[in-house]
């Protein structure tokens, strides 16, 4: 398993893309997707909602368990991935591509996000 170098990672196993026009993409890592098992339902934040770094903003339900979704940054949700809402298995099959979860206009980014190498050491993946 390889964590893309261009992304940053939270200790709650979410990833964050670099900002494009102030907007970053958020998803869960392959490590988290594998730990969850087959994802069968996602509850994403609503467009226009304000999310806060480290706080719950949604939920992922798998055949094994239910897990909270945490936002790695503070800001306003600008888009949610409807493809994932319609086909939650994308979280498992393409966590870094088509399985992204939402986009956020970043207001504040915490200083504790990890590089790919730091996340790999943290998660053991």
pLDDT 10s digits, 48-93: 999 999 999 999 999 989 999 999 999 999 999 999 999 999 999 9
Q: H or E stretch including 30?
A: helix 30-36
- The one-character DSSP state at 83 is H
pTM of the model: 0.95
| pLDDT tens figures, 9-57 | 999 999 999 988 999 999 999 999 999 999 999 999 999 999 999 999 9
Where are any strands of DSSP class E within the chain? 8-9, 14-16, 23-28, 39-43, 50-51, 56-62, 66-70, 74-80, 102-108
Residues in the chain: 125
Q: In angstroms, rounded to a whole number, what is the distance separating the alpha carbons of residues 62 and 39?
A: 4
């Amino acid at each position: 398993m390889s964590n893309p170098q261009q992304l940053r990672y939270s200790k709650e196993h979410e990833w964050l893309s670099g900002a494009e026009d102030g907007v970053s993409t958020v998803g869960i890592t392959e490590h988290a997707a594998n730990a969850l098992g087959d994802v069968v339902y996602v509850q994403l934040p609503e467009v226009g909602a304000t999310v806060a770094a480290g706080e719950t903003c949604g939920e992922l339900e798998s055949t094994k368990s239910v897990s909270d979704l945490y936002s790695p940054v503070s800001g306003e949700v600008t888009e949610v991935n409807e493809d994932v809402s319609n086909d939650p298995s994308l979280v498992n099959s393409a966590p870094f591509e088509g399985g992204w979860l939402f986009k956020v206009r970043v207001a504040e980014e915490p200083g504790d996000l990890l590089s790919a190498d730091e996340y790999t050491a943290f998660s053991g993946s």
